[in-house]
Chains A and B, each alone.
Chain A
């Protein structure tokens, strides 16, 4: 599996990452190496099994549909890089 510069750009866009132009070829090589390594799984017959969903076979628990926490804007917003009253603030966006 060989990853091109364009695929690197596509993956970076999906991952919301700004990648410097000079890093793209290096990343293409590194991602190709990893995908080449995982390619050996193709040789394994998995037709008899389902994808594993839980390692301990646990089933989802039910709980009462009730409010257990909330109404604590100060604790929620304590680490916000920027805020306006009880809202997160983001930089002004110019179209």
Chain B
């Protein structure tokens, strides 16, 4: 049996259930793929041996009559989820060597349902970035190559860049991601896969290294809408250990995948047409709307007036919460501790030990963001910045509430461009523009999914984003499936295993 690593989760599940192949054979196929494509830098800590042991246990469970939904399915885990006994770094030097003594709630749910973990996936340091170039453990490479410059290494997007690259390159069947301002949807679009950010509160945040607690949300990344639905069914659920976890039942997310979009109303927000956006992004957006119209949906233009306030408000809220969350890294309880300065046997003060540890342990982007956060939260500025941003957030959320009184789902581009070169990446605020279409949904807490819908003129994948009502992932996935069916995106990346 060859190329088992290229199967969808749905197909692999059927094959395992029928006994066409074993979990060990499937896992071995992914382990071989990972070894062959180590050059992508997708994994920080590959764990193929542990995975093969887990696969044997899955095969034994199946023999004894167990039919858990992910039994024997090989997944990659973003290295932001704490995994018991396996190093968890958040892609930062400051957590090098940290081996959690507990398992995050989301990965606990996946293990309960029989998943096999292939290892810990690379990301931007503390999930801060849109290109996966801020990891202490090296860049991740996008498995896609452009037709005009096939030798140029492209970014996979970020922060879940390792997840997107590994799934696109067929190193695992699916992966976990986390999304704070677009960290699932933007890399999914750049790598030609599907990524779902659920409603805030749907997946437990317990045991996930915190970035911005009012925005962080875990979600699935896979090669089809159906696979994302299957994964979300296992990842989601109420968790008393997360005070923002919502106590509502987990539905069957695959239930309405075939229901079509006839009679549904889809909104196109006029504010998502931004200056300098390539014509091909606009064309794909309109094409996607036409696909849904052809299947019986009604497409209407809507307005989300505060769209362009989302990004500046995000760059207050996220750094503010990050500066508070990252205060825990002080070199005392876990991770890296700096040595005393040149030749001195000890630090002059405990504070100097903290500051030196943090100065050496955090990379430049993280330092920039926690300084911004410390500044906007400091005395005299709290109201002007943080509370102002939270008020703007209320306006953004209200825009969506009004929109969903008129439409069932909202269709937008996922990103304003295709993947760019690792060496040609934009700087500072320009880089932040990558998330201009994904941040508003994060600020409002609503669910969003990116579906690959076509190729750029340079042969690179482009995604479109669908946004839905809070906790209506079932309805969102239904529209996403209709879009996937119409788009018929079957092109595969050049650097595939």
A residues near B (Cβ < 8 Å) are 3, 7-8, 10-12, 14-19, 27, 30-31, 33-35, 37-42, 44, 46, 49-56, 58, 60-61, 63, 75-76, 78-82, 88, 90-94
Name the A residues within 8 Å of B370 (CB-CB): 15, 17
Q: Give which listed residue, A16, A46, A90, contacts B388 with CB less than 8 A.
A: A46
Interface-lining segment among B33-41, B219-227, B389-397: B389-397
Name the B residues within 8 Å of A93 (CB-CB): 346-350
Question: Are A12 and B371 in contact, with the CB atoms below 8 A?
Answer: yes
Question: Are B392 and A41 in contact, with the CB atoms below 8 A?
Answer: yes
Name the B residues within 8 Å of A76 (CB-CB): 101
Question: Are A91 and B347 in contact, with the CB atoms below 8 A?
Answer: yes
Minimum CB–CB distance from A54 to chain B (whole Å) comes to 7
- Assembled-state Cα–Cα distance A90/B360 (Å): 17
- Assembled-state Cα–Cα distance A91/B346 (Å): 7
Question: Given known contacts A75-B101, A90-B332, A93-B346, is B394 in contact with A52 (CB within 8 Å)?
Answer: yes
Question: Are A37 and B312 in contact, with the CB atoms below 8 A?
Answer: yes
- How many chain-B residues does the 8 Å CB contact rule pick out? 77
Question: Given known contacts A30-B368, A81-B337, A92-B346, is B394 in contact with A15 (CB within 8 Å)?
Answer: no
B385 within 8 A of A: yes
Minimum CB–CB distance from A4 to chain B (whole Å) comes to 12
B240 within 8 A of A: yes
26 A-B pairs with C-beta separation under 8 A: A3-B375, A8-B371, A12-B371, A14-B375, A15-B358, A17-B370, A27-B368, A30-B368, A34-B315, A41-B312, A41-B389, A44-B392, A52-B391, A55-B214, A76-B101, A78-B99, A79-B99, A79-B335, A80-B332, A80-B334, A81-B334, A82-B337, A88-B332, A88-B333, A92-B346, A93-B350
B200 within 8 A of A: yes
Chain B residue nearest to A3 in the complex (CB): B375
Question: Are B395 and A38 in contact, with the CB atoms below 8 A?
Answer: no
